[in-house]
Amino acid sequence: MSREQRGPNDKLGTVLALAGISNAGLARRVNDLGAQRGMTLRYDKTSVARWVSKGMVPQGAAPHLIAAAIGAKLGRPVPLHEIGLADADPAPEVGLAFPRDVGVAVRHATELYRLDLAGRRAGSGGIWQSLAGSFAVSAYATPASRWLITPADSSVARDSTAAEGSPDATPLRVGHSDVAKLREAAEDARRWDSKYGGGDWRSSMVPECLRVDAAPLLLGSYSDDVGRSLFGATAELTRLAGWMAFDTGQQEAAQRYYIQALRLARAAADVPLGGYVLASMSLQATYRGFADEGVDLAQAALERNRGLATARTMSFFRLVEARAHAKAGDPVAAGAALKAAEGWLERSRDGDADPSWLGFYSYDRLAADAAECYRDLKLPRQVRRFTEQALSRPTEEFVRSHGLRLVVSAVAELESGNLDAACAAGTRAVEVAGRISSARTTEYVRDLLHRLEPYGDEPRVVELRERARPLLVAPA
């Protein structure tokens, strides 16, 4: 369904030409984006021709999907007015701002929390359908630079009555016990996410916790001391929501959560936590193919944390930097970062004041990420060496990580010419992937099967492909 607009939409035609997208190409991209969000769309080149030549405006989420499709090709957000669709149903650009003022930052964060996974008001259903735009690494530029300039706010004390201009209102007084409950929720969510994936229903309760529990507290009254702790706990939960969205393939949702998590970490005056959020942004940027920006984000985390973060924390930041260098195809820089990560980890001690959110990080994790670095650098011998170390420990707590490591091991065996070993590791990876809800793990398996296509007639490969079929056709 479309509604009429006066005259041709020259703006849309111009931007399509600039992006180098044909009518058929745009229709295909919009249909694909809709499918990722649970919608069945059947636009074709004729539909796009009507939008351009007759100025017809498609209804529902389509204008925002058009903007997302073009933005993905241009590598930047595309507002609706730029493509002549500003009269379409408005979609809030929630979560992308990094306000300087703490009060404004609270409003932006709580607005994001009040939206469900559809990007609509809670209770309306859907999957981020009405949020305009898609992942654009350029959206991280302003948050990162503002955090680098001022990683901690001067004061965050809040009087909700005065702030809301309602002297008759009864303010919600926030105490440390309220904050403790949020931290407990974050710890539980981290455990469930590692064991069952970001799509597990227990992990998906994090956005609900932010909306129901965290948002009212942020809007309450608190001292500077309580406020710092509250912002820190909420930043942890918000980063977790972003990480889970990332793991389930909801990249635009993850980006919004990450930006707000970084802003909240600044309000908490927690520089290591801000660095952790930047490291998460770096991993997402690298995963999405923006390795250079991934390096920048990881190095931003490192520079601000020199002399502040523990040795184990600095080790993790250097490891994330190594991942980005490897993806960029720079073996010298990747090797240097890996060596530095190992050096920092050797300096760490059990009595160090490591943050609770770093509990997952150990030599096993360093070895696993080193293996992925060498996979990206196409050095299978080193991949095998580090993967063997990464797989040497029990996996009950970190099931998803175990599955990812098995896939990396399978790729290394394949590139070394060991088809039997590759299929064996792949079979174990598929078994693990079937027990968790992680689009990222599924994508790793899909990549392995793609690499096995030249051996498609081999019985071992056929069997592996059949075992993986239910995983690949199931909803992510």
Please state, for a pLDDT cut of 90, what percent of the chain lies above it: 64
CATH (residue range 362-476): 1.25.40
Can you tell me the mean pLDDT for 345-355?
A: 95
Which residue in 272, 184, 197, 268 sits closest to 226, CA to CA?
A: 268
Q: Give the residue with greater pLDDT, 44 vs 201.
A: 44
User: What distance in Å separates the CA atoms of residue 186 and residue 350, rounded to the nearest whole number?
Assistant: 22
Task: Give CA–CA dist 438/184, Å, rounded.
Answer: 23
Q: Does residue 133 surpass a pLDDT of 50?
A: no
> At 57, which helix (H) or strand (E)?
strand 57-58
According to the model, what pLDDT value does residue 60 have?
A: 67
Poorest-pLDDT segment among 181-185, 389-393, 411-415, 450-454: 389-393
Residues forming beta bridges with residue 278, ordered by sequence position: none
pLDDT for 297 equals: 98
Q: What is the pLDDT of residue 249?
A: 84
CATH topology of domain 2-83: 434 Repressor (Amino-terminal Domain) (1.10.260)
State which H helix or E strand residue 19 sits in: helix 10-19
Structure tokens of 93?
């650009």
Q: Which residues of 19-44 are buried (b: 16+ CB within 10 A; e: fewer)?
A: bebebebbbbbbbebbebbebebebe
The pLDDT of residue 129 = 44
Alpha helices in 197-309 (DSSP H): 205-209, 215-218, 224-247, 251-267, 271-287, 291-305
pLDDT at 3: 54
pTM of the prediction?
0.79
User: pLDDT tens-digit profile of 193-238?
Assistant: 777 766 654 556 899 899 999 999 999 999 999 999 999 999 999 9
> What's the rounded mean pLDDT across residues 100-127?
70
User: Do 465 and 449 contact (CB within 8 A), yes or no?
Assistant: yes
Q: Which of 71-80, 129-138, 327-336 has the lowest mean pLDDT?
A: 129-138
CB proximity list for 98: less than 8 A, separation 6 or greater: 105, 142, 143, 146, 147, 259, 262, 263
Average pLDDT, the chain: 87
Q: Where in the chain are the domains?
A: 2-83, 91-157+173-269, 362-476
Q: Report the range of poorest mean pLDDT among 113-122, 261-270, 378-387.
A: 113-122
Q: Residue 95 class from Cβ within 10 Å (0-12 exposed, 13-18 middle, 19+ buried)?
A: buried
The burial class, CB within 10 Å (0-12 / 13-18 / 19+), for 184 is: exposed
Question: Three-state DSSP class for 158?
Answer: strand
Gap between the Cα atoms of 81 and 386, Å rounded: 50
The answer to whether residue 338 scores a pLDDT higher than 80 is yes
How would residue 394 be classed by pLDDT, with cut points 50, 70 and 90? low
pLDDT-derived band at 170 (thresholds 50, 70, 90) equals: low
**Mean local confidence (pLDDT), 99-122:** 78
Contact call for residues 95 and 260 (beta carbons, < 8 A): yes
